[in-house]
């Protein structure tokens, strides 16, 4: 999957993550102000992990940029509700370095942003993981460099797996600005059972929002 991710993200036209070499990319929002490049698993999964590195080519004019891995998404919760859990890097205007954060969206609630680290220098790799807990159905946790950084998080009706996604995104802050950013993704793996059974997937589906 890591090789597939490199090829698909490097070829995308909306929000590009350079996976090999220091080549910058512009991302300009769609009607909602967002642009994405996403790579989703072909079947439900119990977790996703990757080493993400923010590279030294950022110019965030407005809004934010981010590179993250996660599970779930719009409409994937009970009765078509929004439900997701993600961890990644984010960057903002006039701020040196990046945040490491995780975000939770629960059915019927607004997503919540949780800062894990601040002012992380460019070029710092971090292993980021979202994983359902072994023996605890519907409970998930976020991990950073093999250590848990969230409490157990209940994602209702998620025990049969959620879509696993690796994503870069840009939001223009409602101004129409184009942000420049650069992330690398490596060692992308999918969990095929709660608590682990990590494998590099050979099949994936490209998902985009324009």
DSSP-based three-state secondary structure for 180: strand
Predicted model pTM: 0.82
Main-chain phi, psi angles of 11, to 5 degrees = -90, -15
Instruction: For residues 118 and 130, give the distance between their C-alpha atoms in angstroms, rounded to a whole number.
Output: 20
The DSSP bridge partners found for residue 49 are 129, 189
**Cα–Cα nearest to 60, from 152, 187, 175:** 175
- Structural domains in the chain? 2-17+31-173+187-207 (2.60.120)
* DSSP structure string for 92-159: -TT-SSEEEEEEEE-TTS--EEEEEEEEEPTT--EEEEEEEPTTSTTEEEEEETTEE-S--EE-TT-T
Q: Does residue 114 contact residue 135 with C-beta atoms inside 8 Å?
A: no
Dist. CA 150–CA 171, nearest whole Å: 25
Question: Could you read off the pLDDT tens digit of each residue along the chain, which spans 210 residues?
Answer: 443 333 333 333 223 333 333 334 555 655 677 887 877 776 789 999 999 999 877 888 888 899 999 999 999 999 999 999 999 999 898 787 899 999 999 999 999 999 999 999 989 999 999 999 999 999 999 999 999 999 999 999 999 889 999 998 888 888 888 888 888 888 899 999 999 889 875 544 443 333
R_g (Cα) of the chain, nearest Å: 16
């Amino acid at each position: 999957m890591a090789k597939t991710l490199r090829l698909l993200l490097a070829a995308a036209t909306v929000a590009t993550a350079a996976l090999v070499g220091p080549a910058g990319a512009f991302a300009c929002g769609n009607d909602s102000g967002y642009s994405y490049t996403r790579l989703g698993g072909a079947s439900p999964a119990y977790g996703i992990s990757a080493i993400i590195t923010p590279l030294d080519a950022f110019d965030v004019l407005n809004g934010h940029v981010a590179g993250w891995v996660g599970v779930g998404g719009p409409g994937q919760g009970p009765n078509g509700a929004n439900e997701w859990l993600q961890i990644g890097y984010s960057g903002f205007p006039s701020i040196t370095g990046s945040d490491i954060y995780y975000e939770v969206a629960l059915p019927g609630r607004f997503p919540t942003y949780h800062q894990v680290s601040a002012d992380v220098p460019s070029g710092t790799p971090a292993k980021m993981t979202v994983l359902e807990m072994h023996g605890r159905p519907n409970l998930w946790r976020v991990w950073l460099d093999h250590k848990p950084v969230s409490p157990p998080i209940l994602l209702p009706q998620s025990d049969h797996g959620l879509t696993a996604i690796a994503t870069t995104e840009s939001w223009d802050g409602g101004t129409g600005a184009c942000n420049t950013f650069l992330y690398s993704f490596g060692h992308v793996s999918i969990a095929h059972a709660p608590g682990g059974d990590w494998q590099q997937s050979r099949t994936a589906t490209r998902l985009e929002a324009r």
